Amino acid sequence: MTDIEQPVSSTMLSAWEVDSKVERETSHLPAEWEMVIGLEVHAELATETKMFSPARNHFGSEPNTNVHPVCLGLPGTLPVVNGKAVELSIRLGLALNCHVQRCVFARKNYFYPDMPKDYQISQYDRPLNINGWLELASGHTIGIERAHMEEDTGKSTHVGESGRIHDAGYSLVDYNRAGVPLIEIVSHPDIRGPEEAKEYVAELQRILIAVGASDGKFEEGSLRVDANVSVRPAGSDELRTRCEVKNVNSLRSLGRAIQYETQRHVDLYLAGDRPVQETRHWDEEGGRTRAGRSKEQAEDYRYFPDPDLVPVDPSPEWIEEIRQSLPVLPRERRQRLVDAGGTAQAAALAVERDLDQLAFDAMSQGADPERTLKHVANNLAVDGAQTLDPSNFAELVKLETGGGLTATQAKQVLAEMVETGNAPGDIAAQRGFEAMESSELEGLLDGIIAASPDEWSRFCEGEAKLQGFFTGQIMKATKGQADGKEIAKLLAQKSAG
């Protein structure tokens, strides 16, 4: 078992070290302070059934219909590990560059009415995935400490004035969610600001979806984030007292909560005080965090290996098989477009829209990267865009950059290509699109000048806004088929005399 706790390679470690010295985005704190943020992301795994029970894993069912004696924790029932959940967890682990190891389920003991056994089956000192990393679009690398499997709790609704448990008249519990498989991804405290935190979660979400581990829906609670937040003097290595901020239900809340909480820490230090280690809850309406349990009041979870379960020991063959079946990850997909000549931003958008393969194929066939990605950004946010034939798409871009079509024409042809699947040349011919020769344009312009001599002399004297007037006239005459750039060139030539 010597290989089990083997850390990631030294190259990876040095990547972190180097990275931490790279200047980060501006945190919104006074310049002499720096944010230190680690995130715990819980994602519900996209399985058919629950983590340890044959009950259905499905969001939005009638309360207490997706239940079974096992996930209700009825006396005498026993958990059995869902193999699919393990597979999806390994998929994510590999996508996060983790070491996948023999792992043990442990019981986390505490009393809560939405937890049927009054303990949660989780993983403690032997998690499935350890020592990974996630590279952000910015190039920053965030270390992943672990990604372990556990079961979700049920959902309590406290019926009473505040909706909080302590003054509820009564509480209702829905156990549909109890036992739903979760993966908890714990990052190192490598995140330095609210924007980076949001970027990290967004990228993690993309990876979860890409590998099929989770649907990653914040709004359905299948993605949840807790933030461990502290601050320190900029450039220092120390780790100061942190607070765990819970109840963050969207990327926007995450950014706001981090901003608020770090500022609170700075204010405390500046006032000669210090924060206490505690759990704090984000109050979305109030735009602030509120104190929960402090460390002194913290529960002792009395973790111990769950004697009802045996260790999960994925074979190297199985891990390799899963690795082979992984899709190309968002980061590599973006990188491929950037390497082919796209900008980072355009590449990210293409991947987001799942049009990167199309764009890449078109670019491989000689389409201009900038034009190609511009179409993806501006003209292809439509149904059916993915079905475009890459060769046709490449041909269209080439027609356009070669002057055979104006931008406006190209847009129209593209729309029809998505609808009909026809080739761009055919569509252009059918529509009578042919890029106008400069001589044709010049003739048109001469006619317009003759009809508006006053405007023309004012334009020639420097009244630049009249450029729009003449452009508009030409466009009107050509029903929008003229190339704007050509017109501008022509106007400049003629007015210069």
Partner 1 sequence: MSTAIEIAAAVSAGEQTASSVLESYLSRIDDREAEIHAFNAVTAEEARATAAAIDASVAAGETVGPLAGVPVALKDNMCTTGIATTCSSRMLEDWKPPYDATVVERLREAGAIMVGKTNLDEFAMGSSTENSAFGVTHNPLDVTRVPGGSSGGSAAAVAAGFAPLSLGSDTGGSIRQPAALCGVVGMKPSYGAVSRYGLIAFASSLDQIGPFSATVADSALLYSVIAGHDARDSTSIPLPVPDVQATLDDGVEGLRVGIISELMGEGPLEGFEPEVLARVRDAANALAAAGATVAEVSVPSTIYGLSAYYQIAPAEASSNLARYDGVRYGHREPGGVNTAAMMKASRTAGFGPEVKRRIMLGTYALSAGYYDAFYGKAQRVRTLIINDLAKAYADFDVLLSPTSPCVAFPIGAKSDPLTMYLNDTCTIPSNLAGHPAISVPFGTGADDLPVGVQVLAPMLGEAKMYTVARAIELAASGGQS
Residue with tokens 């990210």: 348
Measured from the CB atom, the residue of 278 and 306 that comes closer to partner 1 is 306
In whole angstroms, the minimum distance from the beta carbon of 76 to partner 1 comes to 4
Report which of 138, 198, 143 is spatially closest to residue 16, judged by C-alpha positions: 143
| Contacts with partner 1, 302-331, as mask; x by CB under 8 A | xxx--xxxx---------------------
CA distance 216 to 210: 10
Measured from the CB atom, the residue of 109 and 357 that comes closer to partner 1 is 109
Measured from the CB atom, the residue of 62 and 111 that comes closer to partner 1 is 111
Measured from the CB atom, the residue of 76 and 235 that comes closer to partner 1 is 76
Among 74, 429, 451, 492, binds partner 1 (CB under 8 A): 74
Stretch that binds partner 1, among 78-86, 182-190, 383-391, 413-421 (CB under 8 A): 78-86
Measured from the CB atom, the residue of 201 and 312 that comes closer to partner 1 is 312
Q: What is the 3-class SS of 340-403, one letter each residue?
A: CCCCHHHHHHHHHCCCHHHHHHHHHCCCCHHHHHHHHHHCCCCCCHHHCCHHHHHHHHHHHHCC
Q: Binding to partner 1 by residue 171, rule CB under 8 A?
A: yes
Return the bridge partners of 230, or none. Answer: 36
Q: Binding to partner 1 by residue 126, rule CB under 8 A?
A: no
CA distance 169 to 163: 9
Q: Binding to partner 1 by residue 50, rule CB under 8 A?
A: no
- The pair of structure tokens assigned to 264 is 């609170």
Measured from the CB atom, the residue of 61 and 109 that comes closer to partner 1 is 109
| Contacts with partner 1, 172-211, as mask; x by CB under 8 A | -x--------------------------------------
- The pair of structure tokens assigned to 405 is 């079509």
Q: Say if CB 179 and CB 52 are below 8 A apart.
A: yes
Q: Say if CB 191 and CB 38 are below 8 A apart.
A: yes
In whole angstroms, the minimum distance from the beta carbon of 239 to partner 1 comes to 21
CA distance 135 to 319: 22
Q: Could you please report the per-residue DSSP string of 401-438?
A: HTTSS-HHHHHHHHHHHHHH---HHHHHHHHT--PPPH
Find the distance separating the first CA and the last CA of the chain, reported in whole Å.
84
In the three-class reduction of DSSP (H, G, I as helix; E, B as strand; rest coil), residue 242 is classed as: coil
Stretch that binds partner 1, among 114-122, 136-144, 431-439, 454-462 (CB under 8 A): 114-122
Measured from the CB atom, the residue of 307 and 432 that comes closer to partner 1 is 307
Q: Binding to partner 1 by residue 166, rule CB under 8 A?
A: yes
Stretch that binds partner 1, among 105-113, 183-191, 325-333, 399-407 (CB under 8 A): 105-113
Count how many Cα atoms sit within 13 Å of the Cα of residue 134 in the half-sphere of its side chain: 35
Count how many Cα atoms sit within 13 Å of the Cα of residue 420 in the half-sphere of its side chain: 11
Q: What is the CA radius of gyration of the chain?
A: 29
Residues binding partner 1: number (CB under 8 A): 31
CA distance 459 to 39: 60
CA distance 48 to 51: 10
Q: Binding to partner 1 by residue 294, rule CB under 8 A?
A: no
Among 30, 83, 113, 233, binds partner 1 (CB under 8 A): 113
In the three-class reduction of DSSP (H, G, I as helix; E, B as strand; rest coil), residue 89 is classed as: helix
Q: How far is CA 205 from the centre of its chain?
A: 5
Measured from the CB atom, the residue of 77 and 357 that comes closer to partner 1 is 77
Measured from the CB atom, the residue of 196 and 306 that comes closer to partner 1 is 306
| Contacts with partner 1, 348-387, as mask; x by CB under 8 A | ----------------------------------------
In whole angstroms, the minimum distance from the beta carbon of 236 to partner 1 comes to 30
Binders in 385-444 for partner 1, by CB under 8 A: none
Return the bridge partners of 123, or none. Answer: 105
Q: Binding to partner 1 by residue 72, rule CB under 8 A?
A: yes
Output phi, psi for 178, to 5 deg. Answer: -65, 120
Q: Binding to partner 1 by residue 80, rule CB under 8 A?
A: yes
Footprint of partner 1 (CB under 8 A): 69, 72-81, 107, 109, 111, 113, 116-119, 165-166, 171, 173, 300, 302-304, 307-310
